[in-house]
């Protein structure tokens, strides 16, 4: 004896025949619940047939690949955008690091300043001064000092002459002489006082008088390039 | 015919280049919408893929005519799918501003909703099929895809009569699950 479900399935599949088919159709005509059950079976079976012969797997393969390609592309674009932002920043950072490094290495901390070319006073003295600049910047300190001596003799109050004069000894690593001359300038109130203090500290450190050097470096406020150099040297010494 | 009808054809024909265009043109917006509504980027791509499969079924055997832009249509389907996903996860509700964003004024919304509803019913049946035992699933799948049931019975090592009986039982089991599901018993307002 077939169950109701078996009859419905056989009916849908066209396997009910003869009296069995007639009996089922008569039952359908009078039984609303059976009709509803049959309709639901048909609907579900139709959905199953539709879905199982659909090509969905092939579609999903293409969707998956397209999604992957799109995400990869988006990711690349984000990376490129990021690179566009980061590369200049990194480049600038590298430049800054290089500049900082070049300004902060031990050798630059002890390096002499460039003697600036400028007319100081009068045409005759200006010519001499320019000669001193050339000698000084070419590290011909003795020649530079000779000229600066002449300039100091003609203008004994000019601190700029005295400053570079002291630095000629510094350039020759004649620390004691440079200390002697720089002390006076460092103690004064001229515009060269801070620079003189710095080079005086360096000279003391070269003479292994670190305590004096540290005290001098601590006087230099770190609000400019000279201050940063002083700080760096201070840290190195401490 | 709407100019965006071509996007439906891309899906219907499983056109890889066309599908690439769909992703290129719309993926970013869909994913952004999902992310904005408490989802992740992965959720966004999952919803988009499922929505495109749904649209494929909407157009596969029908002459489905697009009456709004494909973008609006796709957003509507995705939004609906994401709302359902959120309900399942019992997460927070979608923001009102996003509701407004995807509100479609014209009559096409009703037609689209009906198509989406039908596809969702079909999805439900397929999900319920997956909850049956492996043997039942195999019998139903093979009976739906292969013509000769005698050969199926033989390959399964059972008689044809037993196969018929088992198929009937498995279908009855599936039907009972379908009847009990809110999508079919009227408990869910589409």
Q: Is residue B117 part of a domain?
A: no
What pLDDT does residue B107 have?
62
Domain count, chain B: 2
- Give B108 to chain A, closest Cα distance, Å: 24
The answer to whether the CB atoms of A15 and B164 lie below 8 A apart is yes
Give the ranges where A105-140 is alpha helix by DSSP (H): 106-109, 123-137
Residues B100 and B50 reside in one and the same domain: yes
Q: Show me where the domains of chain A are located.
A: 4-52, 56-104, 123-237
Tell me which residue range forms the domain holding B96: 5-104
Q: Is residue B63 part of a domain?
A: yes
Give the ranges where chain A is alpha helix by DSSP (H): 4-12, 18-30, 32-52, 56-104, 106-109, 123-137, 141-154, 159-171, 175-187, 193-206, 210-219, 225-237
What pLDDT does residue A107 have?
60
Q: Is residue B32 part of a domain?
A: yes
Which portions of chain A are predicted below pLDDT 50?
120-122
- Give A52 to chain B, closest Cα distance, Å: 7
Residues B40 and B82 reside in one and the same domain: yes
Q: Is residue B118 part of a domain?
A: no
Per DSSP, B61 falls in state: S
Q: ipTM strictly over 0.90? A: no
Instruction: Please calculate the CA angle B74-B75-B79 and round it to the nearest 5 degrees.
Output: 120
- Measured between CA atoms, the residue of chain B closest to residue A73 is B24
Q: Is residue B163 part of a domain?
A: yes
Nearest residue to A58 via CA among B7, B21, B25, B11 = B11
What pLDDT does residue A78 have?
66
What pLDDT does residue B102 have?
45
**Considering only CB atoms, which chain B residues are within 8 Å of A40?**
175, 178-179, 184
Residues B10 and B100 reside in one and the same domain: yes
Q: Is residue B66 part of a domain?
A: yes
Q: Is the Cα torsion angle A202, A205, A211, A214 positive or negative in sign?
A: positive
- Give B188 to chain A, closest Cα distance, Å: 17
Per-residue pLDDT tens, chain B, 190 aa: give them. 788 999 999 999 999 999 999 999 999 999 999 999 989 999 999 999 999 999 999 998 888 888 889 998 999 899 888 988 888 776 454 444 444 444 555 566 777 778 888 898 999 999 999 999 999 999 999 999 988 889 999 998 889 999 999 999 999 999 999 999 888 876 655 4
What pLDDT does residue A120 have?
46
The reported pTM is: 0.57
What pLDDT does residue A83 have?
65
- Give A45 to chain B, closest Cα distance, Å: 8
Residues B172 and B99 reside in one and the same domain: no
The answer to whether the CB atoms of B175 and A37 lie below 8 A apart is yes
What pLDDT does residue A222 have?
67
Residues B100 and B11 reside in one and the same domain: yes
Nearest residue to A69 via CA among B129, B10, B144, B24 = B24
> Quick one: tokens of A124?
């005759």
What pLDDT does residue B106 have?
56
Maximum pairwise Cα distance, chain B: 61
Residues B24 and B98 reside in one and the same domain: yes
Residues B27 and B97 reside in one and the same domain: yes
> Quick one: tokens of B99?
């509701």
- Measured between CA atoms, the residue of chain A closest to residue B18 is A66
Q: Is residue B110 part of a domain?
A: no
Whether the CB of B17 is below 8 Å from some CB of chain A: the reply is no
**From CA B177, how far away is CA B171, in angstroms rounded?**
10
- Measured between CA atoms, the residue of chain A closest to residue B122 is A47
Residues B13 and B86 reside in one and the same domain: yes
Q: Is residue B114 part of a domain?
A: no
The answer to whether the CB atoms of A47 and B122 lie below 8 A apart is yes
Residues B90 and B146 reside in one and the same domain: no
User: Please, is A98 exposed, middle or buried when counting C-beta atoms within 10 Å of its C-beta (0-12, 13-18, 19+)?
Assistant: exposed
Whether the CB of A64 is below 8 Å from some CB of chain B: the reply is yes
CATH number at residue B55: 1.10.1740
Pick the CATH number of A123-237 from 3.40.50.1000, 3.30.465.10, 1.25.40.10, 3.40.50.2300: 1.25.40.10
Q: Alpha carbon of B179 to those of A7, B33, B67, B82: distances in Å?
A: 19, 34, 34, 25
């Amino acid at each position: 004896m077939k169950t109701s479900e078996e009859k419905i399935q056989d009916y849908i599949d066209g396997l009910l025949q003869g009296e069995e088919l007639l009996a089922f159709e008569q039952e359908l005509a009078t039984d609303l619940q059976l009709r509803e059950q049959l309709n639901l079976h048909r609907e579900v079976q139709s959905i199953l047939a539709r879905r199982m012969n659909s090509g969905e797997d092939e579609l999903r393969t293409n969707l998956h690949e397209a999604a992957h390609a799109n995400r990869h592309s988006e990711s690349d674009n984000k990376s490129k955008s990021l690179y566009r932002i980061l590369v200049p920043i990194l480049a600038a950072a590298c430049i800054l690091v290089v500049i900082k490094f070049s300004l902060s290495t031990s050798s630059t901390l002890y390096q002499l300043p460039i003697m600036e070319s400028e007319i100081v006073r009068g045409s005759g003295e200006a010519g001499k001064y320019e000669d001193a600049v050339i000698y000084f910047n070419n590290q011909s300190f003795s020649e530079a000092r000779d000229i600066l001596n002449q300039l100091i003799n003609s203008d004994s109050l000019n601190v700029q002459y005295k400053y570079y004069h002291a630095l000629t000894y510094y350039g020759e690593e004649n620390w004691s002489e440079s200390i002697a001359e720089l002390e006076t300038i460092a103690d004064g109130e001229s515009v060269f006082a801070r620079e003189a203090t710095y080079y005086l500290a360096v000279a003391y450190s070269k003479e292994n008088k670190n305590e004096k050097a540290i005290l001098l470096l601590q006087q230099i406020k770190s609000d400019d390039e000279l201050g940063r150099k002083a700080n760096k040297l201070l840290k190195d010494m401490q | 015919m709407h100019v965006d009808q071509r996007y439906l054809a891309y899906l219907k024909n499983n056109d890889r280049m066309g599908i690439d265009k769909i992703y290129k043109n719309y993926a970013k917006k869909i994913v952004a919408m999902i992310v904005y509504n408490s989802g992740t980027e992965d959720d966004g791509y999952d919803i988009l893929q499922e929505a495109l499969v749904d649209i494929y079924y909407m157009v596969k055997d029908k002459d489905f005519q697009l009456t709004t832009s494909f973008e609006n249509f796709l957003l509507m389907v995705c939004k609906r799918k994401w709302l359902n996903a959120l309900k399942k996860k019992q997460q927070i509700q979608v923001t009102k501003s996003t509701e407004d964003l995807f509100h479609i004024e014209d009559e096409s919304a009703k037609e689209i909703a009906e198509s989406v509803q039908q596809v969702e019913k079909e999805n439900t049946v397929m999900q319920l099929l997956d909850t049956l035992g492996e043997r039942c699933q195999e019998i139903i799948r093979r009976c739906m895809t292969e013509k000769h049931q005698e050969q199926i019975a033989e390959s399964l090592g059972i008689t044809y009569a037993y196969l018929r009986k088992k198929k009937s039982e498995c279908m009855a089991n599936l039907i009972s699950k379908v009847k009990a599901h809110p999508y079919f018993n009227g408990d869910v307002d589409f």
